[in-house]
Structure 1
Amino acid sequence: MILWLVVFVAGALALMMMRVGAWTWLVAELAWIWVGGVTDQANAIVCILLAIILCVPTLLIAIKSVRQTLITRPALDVFRKILPSMSDTERDAIEAGTVWWDADLFSGKPDWNKLMQLPPPTLTAEEQSFLDNEVTQLCAMVNDWDTTVAWQDLQPEAWQFVKDKGFLGMIIPKQYGGKQFSAYMHSQVIMKLSSRCSVAAISVMVPNSLGPAELLLHYGTEEQKNHYLPRLARGEEIPCFALTSPYAGSDAAAIPDVGVVCKGMHEGKEVLGFRVTWNKRYITLAPVATVLGLAFRALDPDHLLGGNAEPGITCALIPTKHPGVVTGRRHWPLNAVFQNGPTSGDNVFIPLDWVIGGQAQVGKGWRMLMECLAAGRAISLPSSSVGFSKMAVRGTSAYAAMRRQFKIAIGKFEGIQEALARMGGNLYMMDATRRMSSLAVDAGEKPSVISAISKYHVTERGRIVVNDGMDVIGGKGICMGPGNFLARVYQQIPIAITVEGANILTRCLIIFGQGAIRCHPYVLKEMAAANDTDHDRALGDFDKAFFGHLSFVAANMARSLVFGLSAGLLAGAPTNAAEETRVYYRAVSRMSACFSLLTDVSMLVLGGSLKFRERISARLGDVLSQLYLISATLKRYEDDSRQRDDLPYLEWSVQDALYRAQEAMLEVLDNFPNPFISLALRIWMFPLGLSYRKPSDRLAGAVAVAMQTPGASRDRLVADVYQPDAETDPLGSGERAFNLLPQVHEIETRLKQSIKDGVLPPIPQSLIEMRRWNARAMEQGLINADERLVLDDFAHYGDITVQVDDFGPDLDMGKALQKPQEPVLIRSA
């Protein structure tokens, strides 16, 4: 009897996971009952009862006409009643863009082989040359100190270089005079610039992200493209895009800026157009822009366009010299001092031809904007965060390895190693996410959910990296000056957190709010069927989607339990995965099934109110996000040819993300309105107890040591950033001293016995005093001239690294405002 029941449970779980149809279920049930009867596991009465309980409902479901009458039609009526209302803005946001790997993670059964078959992102020879030459030259021209203290902007020579070398036309096709770079190249450029100067990165980023060029490429008329794109590519036009209004913020449906359709005079002719009134703020490049992209709410009370009296959000291009356009004074965004400010206009007449895409795109502006957000959210902002994080990791790890306290390098203290491990582990995952999201855009995707995940989590982890860096370098980090490589970045971090969808909004409303509908294989289909006015078609479509959804839930229920009982050993992994990472693929597959189950139960229990339960939806979004970040990290390891030296970074970041995903699930369950369902789900998904823990101290120590060890692994971690010259930049000096450490340690180790015997005094903590110590060691024949040069160079460049800038009584502000034209040589140690 027990074996017979075990066969039933195992068979049911297997059929659920395989998602077989009702007729297959019926045959399997009859076969199981028959076996029970012929083997005397059940008598005739039990067999008849089992047939009634199991087979009759299955038969009713298997017969389509009966199923639709008894189940589908009532379910459709209920679904229509509980379906939450959706504004046009929400509908456009949900329908915009495409789904990609996020849909696999929602499925509960990610197809790892599909992901692994994607080629790693690469650059063409032309792109690599531009990155090595023009981008490096621009980095050498600028730095955060000069742009923020002396210029409050890019200096004129840098602006001209940006225009002349085509930085503003990286995404514009060659036929219009642009560079036509890939999304990955766009990402590489922004990352490298961000490792040097935020103002340069932002000034280049905006024209190549959400703005006139991006919108023109996708929606502009041929006439608009032929006019504007070559001028934008040559830098003759500086673009900006004005969306945010003081009293609307992120609520595009509430935009108060209005354009009323009317007739007016333009270039001596009466034409159809809009009389637009607007008041916008936070507009990057607005103070220097020559062409203004403007989003406004179109109204057509006289039906001059022949359609709706309120067509909706519309986007237009307006020359900033057009009569009535007012460019306001500058905003001052947290010492980043990039060009940013308000723009306004009162009853400004613009011709209909200035609408992006012409009359056909009137009222479609919000959809246009949502579909073009991928570049800014998936490329620009994550790339800038990775860029300054690489700079922070590079400078901080070098500082920790050289700076001595209590006669040892501070990087050997466990407290410092804990912070360094967070920095290195987070950076490895951030860079992996940047690369994979770029790959999606280059594959032709418009990844709305993935772009939100990338924007939120990479910028948030960037904040963690810089905060930890500030803690490690201590007093040096809080004293302003050209030698402080972290202060300006620390001040400017909230900019990336805030722009293009503030992170609170992105986490609470966008990631899961869009993902639950767009990435789910059935919800959008059910919603479409429920809104279909053709009753017969609606019933057929809903029947297919509804029972597909039930099968989907059953499959994930089975997977969650089976994977939980097997501790993930039965979960899926790619066939060619590295043995050392296979456990992590299985963990993601298991958590994907649990996440899908939890999502469906949440939607069932909370219904339409889930839309307003932002804490729960945010935590569900956190689970999806962590699974995406882990996927990107595992793919990076494969793309980098499975570098075993990088394994500590991978393991730390993946273990941290798995723990975060598990905690987010538990927080959802802890706040479920139904405690019985919450308890049942917790036992079902984690039948052997909680599976994931934070990274161990041993692993954190391994990450910290790897970060403080010169070599290929650390080079890969901070690859493709600007490397300043050691003679003119304290950050470059730190790297020079850091690279000398292996030789210094070898020499010092050899001299330990001489110190112990009293031949030499103890190694001084002061790098300035170290020079005299070096001279004494050479005088006694303990080191040769080459070794003394190594030690002297280490003392020289290391001393520059640890020094803190000082100024006169007035902070030398008069001297600072003299706008330096040449780099100032660093002072000698």
Structure 2
Amino acid sequence: MTDSPLDLIGFDSLLTDEERATRDRVRAFVDSDLRPNIARWYDEGVFPREIIQPMGALGLLGMHLQGYGCAGRSAVEYGLAAAELEAGDSGLRTFVSVQGSLAMTAIHTFGSEEQKTEWLPRMARGEAIGCFGLTEPEAGSDPASMRTFARRDGDDWVITGSKRWIGLASIADIAVIWANTDAGIRGFLVPTGTPGFTATPIAQKLSMRASIQCDIVLDEVRVPASAQLPGAEGLRGPFTCLNQARYGIVWGVMGAALDSYRAALAYVQQREVFGKPVAAYQLTQQKLVDMALEIDKGFLLALQLGRLKDAGQLQPHQISVGKLNNARVAIDIAREARAMLGGNGVTLEHSPLRHANNLESVRTYEGTDEVHTLILGNAITGIPAFR
């Protein structure tokens, strides 16, 4: 009996020595620093800021980016790291995604040399935190309808509007804010200490409790012309960052599924009912097999997308294949694993229900099932059905 369903198909043989080494380093960090504490952090509803700089030292922040103190790792290595982090907790993987895939990617891809030099090295070390302000109370799946507006006032920009569900905003040092202008959607770097900028954590969440999501209010926030991201015009800017984050989710959710599977497998092997382990019953074994097969297929899909990404061939609709399939599969596995734990599965002693609750958020953000279905429908038929 192996300890990983990936061994059913020899998944590790598809990875290079360097890729396995990266995965194992992140796994060791999760096991030593995150796993022993996550139930408490989740229960108390706190994000552990003490893990930020150790993550930076491990090269996890902006790890896919080149230069400016970033690790410059491959897409596959980034994906493997995301899976290991989310096996710990979706909220902790989300921190790495918001910092690296969203905020740092926006600066790295669309920023000026001065902006990159000022922010990226500190963000890679975890000494500065970024957030990504796109979603609004009335503009989630349709960011083109955002109401936040930036107007010119002399040499400055003045930004007014609101954002919602913005990860890390209350602890961030710099906010990437997307706003409409007279020339269309543009991106701006807004220091969070700027007058008129307010970030308020969203309370009473049933999901992502070891993570921070906020409401942002921008009340006549004045920034200089140099705050604009010079390379970002229209929705191509935020969508480039979103696709990077969505790619990480393809891997990350399978980490949550695998951790849920392992928890259920360990439990049914030691739990006895009617005189023998629960694992000895046919219905239990069928559930374990079905879960293992879906995990294997999900990781194979993630790896294929990673190889395409490293080759510069990954298309946006292919990311939707991975996000839609793997998020949907992962939440089903987490729920099934919880059921196999019986009543004990509703406590934080076991991970599956925590993962299932978190995956409700992950399945929703960076594109709902419906949005990714429509993206794929458009790819298949050539007919956009968004409206």
Length-normalised TM-score, structure 2: 0.89
Q: 8 Å contact 1:449–1:514 — kept in the other structure?
A: yes
Code of the aligned partner of 2:47: D
Matches within 5 A, 1:196-235: 196-209=88-101, 211-235=102-126
Quote how far apart the aligned CAs of 1:131 are. 4.0
C-alpha spacing 1:514/1:221, structure 2 compared with 1 (3 Å): farther
C-alpha spacing 1:373/1:158, structure 2 compared with 1 (3 Å): closer
Matches within 5 A, 1:203-602: 203-209=95-101, 211-263=102-154, 271=155, 273-299=156-182, 311-337=183-209, 338-357=211-230, 361=232, 364-378=233-247, 380-478=248-346, 480-481=347-348, 483-507=349-373, 509-517=374-382
Greater relative contact order structure (CA < 8 Å, 6+ sep): 2
C-alpha spacing 1:123/1:339, structure 2 compared with 1 (3 Å): farther
C-alpha spacing 1:393/1:134, structure 2 compared with 1 (3 Å): closer
CA distance in 2, matches of 1:178, 1:611: 38
Quote how far apart the aligned CAs of 1:165 are. 3.8
* Matched pairs, number: 372
Quote how far apart the aligned CAs of 1:485 are. 2.5
Matched with 1:147 is 41
Which structure has the greater CA radius of gyration? 1
C-alpha spacing 1:252/1:134, structure 2 compared with 1 (3 Å): closer
Quote how far apart the aligned CAs of 1:341 are. 0.6
CA distance in 2, matches of 1:274, 1:516: 42
Quote how far apart the aligned CAs of 1:256 are. 0.8
CA distance in 2, matches of 1:472, 1:339: 30
Quote how far apart the aligned CAs of 1:439 are. 1.3
SS of the residue 1:237 aligns to:
coil
Code of the aligned partner of 1:426: E
CA distance in 2, matches of 1:123, 1:242: 38
Deviations 1:724-779 (A, max 9, x none): xxxxxxxxxxxxxxxxxxxxxxxxxxxxxxxxxxxxxxxxxxxxxxxxxxxxxxxx
Higher helix share: 1
SS of the residue 2:98 aligns to:
helix
SS of the residue 1:292 aligns to:
strand
Code of the aligned partner of 2:368: A
Q: 8 Å contact 1:183–1:439 — kept in the other structure?
A: yes
CA distance in 1, matches of 2:26, 2:261: 25
C-alpha spacing 1:238/1:229, structure 2 compared with 1 (3 Å): same
Code of the aligned partner of 2:302: R
Structure 1 unmatched ranges of 5 or more: 1-118, 264-270, 300-310, 518-609, 615-829
C-alpha spacing 1:448/1:612, structure 2 compared with 1 (3 Å): closer
Q: 8 Å contact 2:26–2:81 — kept in the other structure?
A: no
Quote how far apart the aligned CAs of 1:475 are. 1.6
Matched with 1:29 is none
Higher strand share: 2
SS of the residue 2:336 aligns to:
helix
C-alpha spacing 1:252/1:199, structure 2 compared with 1 (3 Å): closer
Structure 2 unmatched ranges of 5 or more: 1-12
* Residues 1:184 and 2:76 are matched in the alignment: yes
Q: 8 Å contact 2:22–2:77 — kept in the other structure?
A: no
Deviations 1:586-608 (A, max 9, x none): xxxxxxxxxxxxxxxxxxxxxxx
Code of the aligned partner of 1:404: E
C-alpha spacing 1:234/1:500, structure 2 compared with 1 (3 Å): same
Deviations 1:529-576 (A, max 9, x none): xxxxxxxxxxxxxxxxxxxxxxxxxxxxxxxxxxxxxxxxxxxxxxxx
C-alpha spacing 1:472/1:135, structure 2 compared with 1 (3 Å): closer
Identity of aligned residues (%): 23
Q: 8 Å contact 2:53–2:127 — kept in the other structure?
A: no
Deviations 1:607-644 (A, max 9, x none): xxx64499xxxxxxxxxxxxxxxxxxxxxxxxxxxxxx
C-alpha spacing 1:438/1:613, structure 2 compared with 1 (3 Å): closer
Quote how far apart the aligned CAs of 1:184 are. 1.0
CA distance in 2, matches of 1:220, 1:147: 35
C-alpha spacing 1:168/1:499, structure 2 compared with 1 (3 Å): same
CA distance in 1, matches of 2:204, 2:170: 12
C-alpha spacing 1:121/1:374, structure 2 compared with 1 (3 Å): farther
CA distance in 2, matches of 1:409, 1:503: 37
Deviations 1:411-459 (A, max 9, x none): 2323223322221111111111111111121112342001111111100
Deviations 1:98-135 (A, max 9, x none): xxxxxxxxxxxxxxxxxxxxx955353xx655543465
Deviations 1:631-679 (A, max 9, x none): xxxxxxxxxxxxxxxxxxxxxxxxxxxxxxxxxxxxxxxxxxxxxxxxx
Deviations 1:773-828 (A, max 9, x none): xxxxxxxxxxxxxxxxxxxxxxxxxxxxxxxxxxxxxxxxxxxxxxxxxxxxxxxx
CA distance in 2, matches of 1:141, 1:293: 29
CA distance in 2, matches of 1:201, 1:381: 9
SS of the residue 1:484 aligns to:
coil
Q: 8 Å contact 1:123–1:184 — kept in the other structure?
A: no
CA distance in 1, matches of 2:377, 2:17: 33
Length-normalised TM-score, structure 1: 0.43
SS of the residue 1:365 aligns to:
coil
Quote how far apart the aligned CAs of 1:515 are. 4.7
SS of the residue 2:218 aligns to:
strand
SS of the residue 1:318 aligns to:
strand
Q: 8 Å contact 2:108–2:116 — kept in the other structure?
A: yes
Quote how far apart the aligned CAs of 1:499 are. 0.4
Quote how far apart the aligned CAs of 1:391 are. 1.0
Code of the aligned partner of 1:278: G
CA distance in 1, matches of 2:139, 2:89: 31
Deviations 1:191-227 (A, max 9, x none): 1121123332222222121x22112222222222222
Q: 8 Å contact 1:244–1:280 — kept in the other structure?
A: yes
Quote how far apart the aligned CAs of 1:164 are. 4.0
Matched with 1:663 is none
SS of the residue 2:201 aligns to:
coil
* Residues 1:161 and 2:54 are matched in the alignment: yes
Code of the aligned partner of 2:195: P
CA distance in 2, matches of 1:123, 1:258: 49
Q: 8 Å contact 2:194–2:222 — kept in the other structure?
A: no
CA distance in 2, matches of 1:169, 1:229: 8
SS of the residue 2:235 aligns to:
helix
CA distance in 2, matches of 1:196, 1:239: 22
Quote how far apart the aligned CAs of 1:369 are. 2.1
C-alpha spacing 1:376/1:515, structure 2 compared with 1 (3 Å): farther
Quote how far apart the aligned CAs of 1:465 are. 0.9
CA distance in 2, matches of 1:499, 1:351: 31
Higher mean alpha-carbon deviation, 131-140 vs 238-247, is at 131-140
Code of the aligned partner of 1:159: I
C-alpha spacing 1:342/1:336, structure 2 compared with 1 (3 Å): same
Q: 8 Å contact 1:276–1:346 — kept in the other structure?
A: yes
The CA RMSD over aligned residues, in Å, is 2.3
